[in-house]
Amino acid sequence: MNTHHKRWPVWPLLLAVPLVCAGALLAGAAGLPDWQTPLGRAVLELRLHRILTGLVVGAGLAGAGVVMQALLRNPLAEPYVLGVSSGAGLGAAMAVFFGWNVLHLWAVPAAAFVTGIVTLTVVYFLAARGGGASIYGLLLSGIIVSAVLSNLLMLIVSLAPAEGMHSILWWILGNLQLSAQPLLMTGGALVLGSLVILTVLGAQLNALTLGRETAHHLGVRTGLMIAGCLALATLLAATSVALAGLIGFVGLIVPHAARAWVGPDHRKLPAVAAVIGGLFLVICDTVARTIVAPQEIPIGVVTALVGGPFFLALLLRRRKGGWIE
Amino acid sequence: MSAAVICRNVSAGYRQQPVLHDISLTIQAGQMVALLGPNGAGKSTLLRVLTGLQPLTGGEVELFGRDLRQLRATERARLVAVVPQEVTTPMAFTVAELVALGRSVPRGRWAALAAADRQAIEQALAYTDTLELRDRYYSELSGGEKQRAIIAMALAQEPQLLLLDEPTSHLDINHRLEVLQLLERLNRERGLTVVMTSHDLNLAAEFFPQLALLNHGRITAVGAPAEVLREDVLEEAYHCKLAVRRDATGLLMILPTRTATAPTGKRVHVICGGGSGVEVLRRLCLAGWQVSCGALNQGDTDAQTAAALGIATALEKPFSPLSDGALAAASQLAQAADVIVVCEVLFGPGNVKNLDVARQAGKPILLNTRQVAARDFTSQREVPALLSALVERGATPWEQVGDLLIALEKVK
């Protein structure tokens, strides 16, 4: 029996951040642009913006995934399962469809954020009907609400005029270039703040993975913790969707990778998952804009194509102990 | 002694269905108490009440002198720890990581307690003999090891009261013993108050000096095992016939008595002795026969079995040859029966006349013919001949109890 457990140190990940970012900055259709020319500076600034967005959005999605997998005690839980992402996506699509996006810079992200939160609230109260929200209740109502919202989104897509449809489609597929500078700063602050709070609550999240009653016995105020952590996870997911549209797979696979790296300790997991998620998105985005340059493919396609096989490999390797790392 | 738990007129329940009615119970600090009772009696609900999981609909609960409702979650976790039937987690915690979850909730200012936390975790691992398991995955442990790890996690809370909800119900007998001995040690060496619900009356009787019996949400008996584990008390709670015995070592044993399902309305008379009839008598009773037996000496194993099963028996004084009086009584029983069974009994001058009783009754006879010569201790070595004569007159020979039951089916 294997009694020696691989729990890797965190520093190689931290070391990888500047390396990956530098690589992403240098790679591109135009090669290394000339720093001296205004055009070159613009290209570099654009790439830097995408890198920062990638780090923030990846961290947000991965952090949300970590929390939801812990709270729902389910390996397939992620922002999509509770309908947060589809809710936020629907909000963004509505903003584009009704032309609010021309009225104000914040219209689309604000709509995404509000509908994300509203969706989770609806899901939570559907599940909590007559008592505390059970895990199964949350999963069930989340999946149903999510399915309804996805189809509403499809309805809007089919009704949208040609140019609006194109912009909604970009939202659905995800894009790191969508967000404006002040949005990115606000989003980054929200993601960072949520991750810090989650790290402080990490030990209690650990306890909650033993189930609600056992966590109660260990002194956790479970109702407060579950509601609070779900709210934080929603904040993370909705912020990410507001910044970059719907990017799948990150919230699902990055938490698995993070647990494989440092074990299931939630005092480290939010931060580690955030770093891995950020790196993953930066790499995927670099691939998306270089692989068929000068054409660009949607980043959601890349995360799915990379993430799918990666997830399968992870499952097969860890199969012995169920989904457990 | 101070009280660890005081329940005053506690009522609790699920929505419209009350489970606990007016429970008043005091558990002193340092006691070991087992909560017994049939399924649905309210044992688990009472435990949930004590941990604040189940809201009260009436009455009040005090833990170590403090009202449960006034306790903050963190304070409660320092007083009471709980070991459920089973703990599962999807996460790949090692045993050491799992035990550390006993310190999930911070206990004060940050760094100062890290050392105390570590010490509590190490002690908990040492006490439960889980030190060598510390780097194994919890999910890969056996049932007994898992339960020890969970107890270690509870101990890492450094509680004063440990509540266990049927912690041994998923374990086989050796692991049950292991867990209970651990609890006993914790109670003795650390003064930990232990309250456990259990379905195992025998283990509860052996390990717990104090028992409380619940039935229909009320406490029907409290006290030492000998006071609570009485046939009348238990039969009322469990609605079945129970026999309470002390075994050779003085241990209390509670055994359910099986009752015959379909009485056949037929009578059988059994000739046995020296333990040869124990299984036959029990199986015949279970199969619904009306059984009589004899003649037997008082104090004979079979006579004791017959008495326990309520079987009419023709008795002779201890260690005496069968007298005419006892044989006449046996004859009466034999003649009233529809069939006579002769077991694999040893024959000597004292009891060989039982064969005459069988022959003279004129009923169908089922005769054990196993190793006849070896069972013959009469002075004339007459038994083989006597048995052969019976077989010639139509008696059915049998060797195993199973064969006997099949043969009896035909007589029926």
Q: Tell me, yes or no, if B146 comes closer than 8 A to chain A by beta carbon.
A: no
Please say if the pLDDT value at position B273 is more than 80: yes
Report the alpha-carbon angle B270-B276-B280, nearest 5.
55
If one counts every other C-beta atom within 10 angstroms of the C-beta of residue A183, the result is: 19
Segment holding A183, helix H or strand E:
helix A181-200
Task: Average the pLDDT over B207-230 and give the result.
Answer: 91
Q: Tell me, yes or no, if A66 comes closer than 8 A to chain B by beta carbon.
A: no
* DSSP code per residue over B162-201: EEEESTTTTS-HHHHHHHHHHHHHHHHHH--EEEEE-S-H
How far apart are the two ends of chain B, measured CA to CA in Å?
A: 65
Edge-to-edge order in the sheet of strand B17-28: B17-28, B3-14, B56-63, B66-67
Q: Tell me, yes or no, if B87 comes closer than 8 A to chain A by beta carbon.
A: yes
Express each pLDDT in B81-135 by its tens digit: 999 988 888 888 999 999 999 988 877 655 556 888 889 999 999 988 899 999 9
Distance from CA of A219 to the nearest CA of B (A): 5
Q: Is residue B98 part of a domain?
A: no
Q: Which two tokens stand for residue B6?
A: 């005081």
Using CA atoms, how far apart are residues B5 and B20, in angstroms rounded to an integer? 16
Q: Tell me, yes or no, if A324 comes closer than 8 A to chain B by beta carbon.
A: yes
Same domain? B402 vs B307: yes
Please say if the pLDDT value at position A148 is more than 90: yes
pTM of the complete model:
0.77
Q: Please report, rounded to a whole number, the percentage of residues in chain A having pLDDT higher than 90.
A: 32
Same domain? B200 vs B312: no
Of the residues B91, B95, B134, the best mutation for testing chain A's interface (the one with the most A CB atoms within 10 Å of its CB) is: B91
Same domain? B225 vs B280: no
Task: Tell me if A324 and B81 make a contact (CB, 8 A cut-off).
Answer: no
Express each pLDDT in A258-270 by its tens digit: 998 898 999 999 9
Express each pLDDT in B35-53 by its tens digit: 999 888 889 999 999 999 8
Q: B153 to chain A: which residues are within 8 Å by CB?
A: 218
Same domain? B326 vs B357: yes
Among the candidates B203, B233, B256, a domain finishes at B256
Sign of torsion over alpha carbons B357, B362, B367, B371: positive
**Confidence band of A59 (pLDDT split at 50, 70, 90):** very high
Q: Is residue B132 part of a domain?
A: no
Q: B105 to chain A: which residues are within 8 Å by CB?
A: 203-204, 207, 218-220
Express each pLDDT in B285-303 by its tens digit: 888 888 999 899 998 999 9
Q: What is the extent of the structural domain holding B201?
A: 3-89+161-256
How far apart are the two ends of chain A, measured CA to CA in Å?
A: 15
- Residue A132's pLDDT is 59
Using CA atoms, how far apart are residues A102 and A163, in angstroms rounded to an integer? 13
Task: Tell me if B93 and A264 make a contact (CB, 8 A cut-off).
Answer: yes
Task: Average the pLDDT over A237-245 and give the result.
Answer: 87
Sign of torsion over alpha carbons B104, B105, B111, B115: negative
Distance from CA of A325 to the nearest CA of B (A): 5
- Mean pLDDT across chain B, nearest whole number? 88
**Confidence band of A322 (pLDDT split at 50, 70, 90):** very low
- Residue A320's pLDDT is 46
Task: Average the pLDDT over A292-312 and give the result.
Answer: 84
Task: Average the pLDDT over B245-273 and give the result.
Answer: 77
Same domain? B181 vs B40: yes
Specify the number of domains making up chain B.
2
Q: A199 to chain B: which residues are within 8 Å by CB?
A: none
Q: Which two tokens stand for residue A203?
A: 């030990």
Distance from CA of B405 to the nearest CA of A (A): 50
Q: Domains in chain A, ordered, with CATH?
A: 49-321 (1.10.3470.10)
Q: A324 to chain B: which residues are within 8 Å by CB?
A: 90-92, 137, 139
Asked if residue B282 lies in contact with residue B307, where contact means CB atoms within 8 angstroms, the answer is no
Spatial neighbors of B112 by CB under 8 A, at least 6 apart, are none
- The answer, yes or no, to whether ipTM is higher than 0.85 is no
Q: Is residue B214 part of a domain?
A: yes
Of the residues A1, A6, A214, the best mutation for testing chain B's interface (the one with the most B CB atoms within 10 Å of its CB) is: A214
Q: Is residue B105 part of a domain?
A: no
Same domain? B188 vs B281: no
Query: At B178, which CATH number?
Result: 3.40.50.300
Of the residues A5, A7, A72, A218, the best mutation for testing chain B's interface (the one with the most B CB atoms within 10 Å of its CB) is: A218
Using CA atoms, how far apart are residues B134 and B152, in angstroms rounded to an integer? 11
Q: A209 to chain B: which residues are within 8 Å by CB?
A: 89-91
Task: Tell me if A213 and B84 make a contact (CB, 8 A cut-off).
Answer: yes
- Residue A106's pLDDT is 77
Using CA atoms, how far apart are residues A204 and B181, in angstroms rounded to an integer? 31
Using CA atoms, how far apart are residues B172 and B142, in angstroms rounded to an integer? 11
Of the residues B50, B101, B158, the best mutation for testing chain A's interface (the one with the most A CB atoms within 10 Å of its CB) is: B101
Using CA atoms, how far apart are residues B74 and B72, in angstroms rounded to an integer? 6
- Residue A133's pLDDT is 63
Among the candidates B197, B227, B256, a domain finishes at B256
Q: Tell me, yes or no, if B311 comes closer than 8 A to chain A by beta carbon.
A: no
